[in-house]
A and B are shown apart, each in its own frame.
Chain A
Amino acid sequence: MYTASNLRKGLKLLLDKEPYVVIDFQFTKPGKGQALYRCKLRNMISGIMIDRTYRSVDSFEPADLEQRKMQYLYYQEGHFHFMDLQNYDQVSLSEAQVGDSKNYLIDNLEVDVLLFEGRPIGITLPNFVDLRVVQADPWAKGDSVAGDSKPITLETGYILRVPPFIEEGIKITVDTRTGEYVTRVKE
């Protein structure tokens, strides 16, 4: 059980039977009045943001959340399937739950799957993932008009801009937090 004085950014709690994370938090106290805790919270399932004001007498249940290391197996009919590396249990997440993370999901990638009351609700990727370039225009040496970067397509279908020397068939490292190119992988 949490009380209002435990509220801080990043705290995960249960509201209306759903898990929320505190995104922003402000302590206020009008002269001689009671302390008020103004919070911006994000629903960890739907992503919807809400504003709530709490008083010091309010209390909260912690959200029953668990993070488990799992391996990405395959995609089928709108669902991404993962396997728990400890007990070989399999779980699946919808496209909506995976969101932009799908740009980095390649077979056998290890991710953290977040479970709420035992059900998967989202994934956290490693910060850096190596992906193969499946389509890139050739690098025209001395072609100054080409500029500093060019668009390429990765094996997951993700399109991003990279330096002009990146060629089809090689692997590059991408920062999953920003979606940007980091470096060429030496194989």
Chain B
Amino acid sequence: MSPGSRNNLFFAAGERLAAKKPHLWLRSRIVQAIRSFFLSKGYLEVETPLLIPAPAPELYIDAVQAGDLFLHTSPELCMKRLLASGYEKIFQICRCFREGERGANHLPEFTLLEWYRTEADYRSLMNECEDMLLHLSMTLGLGERLFYQGRVIDLRPPWPRLSVTDALGQYAGVALEDVLAAGSFDEVMVTRVEPHLGAPKPTFLCDYPASLAALARTKTKEPQLAERFELYIAGLELANAFSELTDVVEQKRRFEREREERSRLGKKAYPSPERFLEALPFMPESAGIALGVDRLVMIFADRKSIDPVVAFTPEEL
């Protein structure tokens, strides 16, 4: 059989799939440990529809259209409707879909863990992140320190909280206002700040500019900043969290702005998520977080790409 023939390609694909087995075992154990953590803390596990009529109009997140509906990009809007109806602590592990996202750390179809709780703000979610990752590591028998891509990550709390303003100054020598004005915030973050975050301990990057947090509450004393954080481990962005915005007038205004920006960039228009907006006035003060499960497995499996920790990448189908 010559190299590159159909049979050889089949065996190569089969071997690649077989080689993933240890990572898929680890993945399964991680998902079970996540469930046991949240169930022991009194959280209710929920499932909300993947097919929804109206995704949140976020400027840089593109939903996949499926007939008249969309595959959800996150379960956020449905989970917040549950909060508004008296559910106090909920979590969900589900597939999410984002068009065009494919790279070493991205899949267009990926697994998110989201959890929400009422009477909480983003600070309490930081504590829960610390508790959960330590719980996972201990449950997996890996102890309090992880070894990721040649670096030791110490999971013992507390983990550093670093503001976006300080991180930009410390690692890139630039001011937040300047990079926002120049439109280079994302580029500076990716190339000059992110590689430094999350070692030797995981790091919470906090207090994003309000303009970059469409669904987050702003800080009372510094209204130009939002109560939003991202969790980093060894340069890898693992989770995004907010104190949730509960002001419906403000929320409508921000959705409108995102919609205008989307249309300015020639992006697909979404219908307005009316039922979510109707429920928002009844949502108590809450906090919510989305954590990438595939990336969590990458960290525990010490892989630098997302490909080996999922059974099939889009290219392997």
Q: In the docked arrangement, what's the CA distance between A27 and B212, Å?
A: 20
A36 touching B190, Cβ below 8 Å: yes
Q: Number of A interface residues, CB 8 Å?
A: 16
A35 within 8 A of B: yes
**Which residue from chain B places its CB closest to the CB of A53 in the assembled complex?**
B187
B102 touching A34, Cβ below 8 Å: no
Q: Which of A21-45 contact B (CB under 8 A)?
A: 26-36, 38
A145 within 8 A of B: no
B137 within 8 A of A: no
A57 within 8 A of B: yes
Contacts of A34 in B (CB 8 A): 59-60, 186
Q: In the docked arrangement, what's the CA distance between A35 and B189, Å?
A: 12
Report if A32-B103 is in contact (Cβ < 8 Å); known contacts: A53-B187, A53-B191, A57-B265. no
Contacts of B313 in A (CB 8 A): none
Q: Number of B interface residues, CB 8 Å?
A: 25
Report if A33-B191 is in contact (Cβ < 8 Å); known contacts: A27-B101, A28-B103. no
Q: In the docked arrangement, what's the CA distance between A119 and B60, Å?
A: 41
B58 touching A32, Cβ below 8 Å: yes
A33 touching B265, Cβ below 8 Å: no
**Which residue from chain B places its CB closest to the CB of A4 in the assembled complex?**
B100
A27 touching B102, Cβ below 8 Å: yes
B185 within 8 A of A: yes
Q: How close is B144's CB to chain A, nearest CB, in angstroms?
A: 26
Q: Which of B72-108 contact A (CB under 8 A)?
A: 100-106
A26 touching B104, Cβ below 8 Å: yes
Q: How close is B56's CB to chain A, nearest CB, in angstroms?
A: 11
Q: Which of A2-29 contact B (CB under 8 A)?
A: 5, 26-29
A31 touching B103, Cβ below 8 Å: no
Q: How close is A22's CB to chain B, nearest CB, in angstroms?
A: 14
A29 touching B106, Cβ below 8 Å: yes
The 8 A CB mask of A49-74 against B (1 = contact, 0 = none) is 00001001100000000000000000
Q: In the docked arrangement, what's the CA distance between A57 and B262, Å?
A: 12
B213 within 8 A of A: yes
- Which listed residue (B103, B189, B230, B265) contacts A27, Cβ 8 A? B103
**Which residue from chain B places its CB closest to the CB of A56 in the assembled complex?**
B100
Q: In the docked arrangement, what's the CA distance between A95 and B133, Å?
A: 60
Contacts of B103 in A (CB 8 A): 26-29
Q: How close is B174's CB to chain A, nearest CB, in angstroms?
A: 15
**Which residue from chain A places its CB closest to the CB of B240 in the assembled complex?**
A31
The 8 A CB mask of B213-231 against A (1 = contact, 0 = none) is 1100000000000000010
- Which listed residue (A31, A32, A35) contacts B100, Cβ 8 A? A35
Contacts of A35 in B (CB 8 A): 60, 100-101
Report if A33-B212 is in contact (Cβ < 8 Å); known contacts: A28-B190, A53-B191. yes
B194 touching A30, Cβ below 8 Å: yes
B248 within 8 A of A: no
Contacts of B100 in A (CB 8 A): 5, 35, 56
B61 within 8 A of A: yes
**Which residue from chain B places its CB closest to the CB of A54 in the assembled complex?**
B187
Q: Which of B260-286 contact A (CB under 8 A)?
A: 265
B101 touching A36, Cβ below 8 Å: no
What residues make up the interface of A, taking CB atoms closer than 8 Å to B?
5, 26-36, 38, 53, 56-57
Q: A32-B240, A53-B191 are in contact. List 8 more A-B contacts (CB 8 A).
A: A27-B102, A27-B104, A28-B190, A32-B61, A32-B212, A32-B213, A33-B190, A34-B60
Can you list 30 residue pairs at the A/B interface with Cβ under 8 Å? A5-B100, A26-B104, A27-B103, A28-B103, A28-B105, A28-B190, A29-B60, A29-B101, A30-B186, A30-B189, A30-B190, A30-B194, A30-B237, A31-B230, A31-B237, A31-B240, A32-B60, A32-B213, A32-B214, A33-B185, A33-B189, A33-B212, A34-B186, A35-B100, A35-B101, A36-B190, A38-B191, A53-B187, A53-B190, A56-B100
